[in-house]
Structure 1
Amino acid sequence: MVPSSKEEIEQLLAEILQHSTVEDEEVLLHLLSGLRDKQQGIHRRYINAALHMVGKFEPEVSEVRIPITPVIHNTIKVPHGGIIATIADAAMGGLASRSVPEGFNVVTTNMNISYIATTTNKELIARGRFVHKGRQTLVMECDIEDETGRKLAIATGSFFVIQRRP
């Protein structure tokens, strides 16, 4: 008999917990609570749930935050550059998508990021704003900081307006 997905998950969780470190348990709790939040409708996308991403979007500016946990660490235990780029894209793209007419959305066509510093603090914060609003393209800027205001990176992004898929 082939085990069901739930049986495989239960077996894998039991094996992981049997050999887990405190950090493993922290990561597992973080990921599982994010998945629960997705199921409860707090997050619409798995990536937002996995990162515990929260955002505020006003007409001209945005702010996206994620906690700094081992989930996002690189090998030297600081936030991975790809995660910093991800929240910059979320801050800029989220703001851009809210600015286009109903029935349309945006896709990232280009993103450039310059890393300035790293942090071991508690939170990453990306703040996006417009540089150019065209009918078909939008150009954005973003500053990424930690909760102390330490600037970690700056990013720019270009976004193309597309018709929303059903």
Structure 2
Amino acid sequence: MSYRDDPELMARLYESFRATPLHALLGIDYVEGDQPDGTVVVSMPVRPEAYGASGNLHGGAIATLIDVAAATAAARESAFVPGVNTLVTADLHVRYLGRPTGDMVYARAHVVRAGRQLIVVECRVVDGEDRVIAVADFSSMVVPLREPLPGAAHDPASPEL
């Protein structure tokens, strides 16, 4: 049985995700519903909290959106088990290709290959008109469960998806 088959655990995971201060600040959320071939879709509103000094969507906000989508795809297609091990980003490369029109951007991530420990994911960020804003490749590793940093308000049994 997969952890995704446990509705209570999934509810706790989503609650933990939404309570993460950076996710809340940027308004990052999951797009519900089945996606083709295991693709994960995550949304982020285009709003001042995500702007850089130039008044445009900050590259770091886009990278955070990608990290969330890609890590979620990696978790779902790997040996990750909440409360047993953890998933850490090993590498993230982003190509910024344009700025969005409209008030929302979406990261669509899918696993290219999931090994025993290393998971490789591709991700595209598009705006509401399906124009490509950024593309990325991402890798993560399944590692033994780690203690949170001092002062972090995090429940190790409720890691990010």
Aligned to 1:94: 72
Report SS of the residue matched to 1:43: helix
Question: Residue 125 in 1 paired to residue 100 in 2?
Answer: no
CA positional deviation for 1:41: 6.9
Question: Residue 53 in 1 paired to residue 28 in 2?
Answer: yes
TM-score by length of 1: 0.69
CA RMSD of the aligned region, Å? 2.1
- 1:13-28 to 2 correspondence within 5 Å? none
CA contact (8 A) 2:86 2:143 kept: yes
Report SS of the residue matched to 1:112: strand
CA contact (8 A) 2:26 2:61 kept: no
CA contact (8 A) 2:122 2:136 kept: yes
Name which structure has the greater RCO, CA cutoff 8 Å, separation 6+. Answer: 2
Q: Percent identity?
A: 28
Where in structure 2 are there 5+ consecutive unaligned residues?
Answer: 1-14, 147-155, 157-161
Query: CA offsets per residue over residues 47-102 of structure 1, 9 Å max, x none?
Result: 11111111147672101101111111123322111111110011001121233342
Where in structure 1 are there 5+ consecutive unaligned residues?
Answer: 1-39
Kindly indicate which of the two structures has a greater share of residues assigned to helix: 1
Aligned to 1:147: 128
Report SS of the residue matched to 2:124: strand
Aligned length: 127
Question: Residue 163 in 1 paired to residue 138 in 2?
Answer: no
TM-score by length of 2: 0.71
4+ aligned runs moved over 3 Å, structure 1: 56-59
